[in-house]
Every structure is written in C-alpha cells, then in structure tokens.
Amino acid sequence: MMMVMISSIMASAMALVMMTLCYVTSKSSSQDREKMSPFECGFNPKKSARTPFSIQFFLLAVLFLIFDIEIAIILPIIITMKMAMTSKWILTVTLFITLLILGLYHEWKNGMLEWAK
C-alpha cells in the first residue's frame, strides 16, 4: 500500500513540475508580436488570415470524401466475394451502390453540385 502511495505522490509531483515548466516557458514566447501574427515571413499581412471560404467548395470536398471512402469500402467487398455466398454478396453490393446513387441524386436535385448560380 505504501508503494502505491509513494508512486502516486511522485507522479503528481512530476506532473506539477512539468506544468510549472510549461507555464513559465510559454509566458515569454506568447508576448512576442511577430510570433503571434499569422504570417512569420518578415512582413505584416495586408488582410486577415481568417477569410471566409465558399460553402459550395466545402460541400464538394465532403462529397469527394464520401466517394473516396466508398472506394475504400468497395475494394474489400470485391476481395471477400470468394468467401461469401454469391446471392448475399450481390444483395449487399447492390444495396450499397443504390444508397450511394440515391445520395448523389439527392445532392444533384438540391443543387449542391452546381458550382456557379
């Protein structure tokens, strides 16, 4: 029991020392104006680095990610075709691809794929 208590006290002391060290060393670096600026290349930025981006671009990127993950899911399905029953395999793949096509149709119908309006 004493060994567990000593280990707990030592772990707490080490954590406290590390937190104190981080606090002391971070104080000096947070005060520098140049390091706090978004560009660290020697000149002041002309405009804010936090400019808004196009929601259409974001939705298109999410759509790309969905189809990218879909490829990663379909490839193992093709490999497992030899081990599974053919009728269940065909039903699973057909259902999966149908859901993807329905999702793509829904996005197309809502105008998410139109870049310029």
Q: List the chain domain ranges.
A: 2-36, 55-109
pLDDT band at 27 (very low <50, low <70, confident <90, very high): low
pTM reported for the whole predicted model: 0.44
Contact 60, 113 (CB under 8 A): yes
Instruction: Assess contact for 49 and 38: CB atoms under 8 A.
Output: yes
State residue 56's pLDDT score.
Answer: 76
In tens, the pLDDT along 46-76 reads 666 677 777 778 877 888 888 788 878 877 7
Q: Which tokens belong to 103?
A: 């999702």
Least confident of 31-40, 67-76, 77-86: 31-40
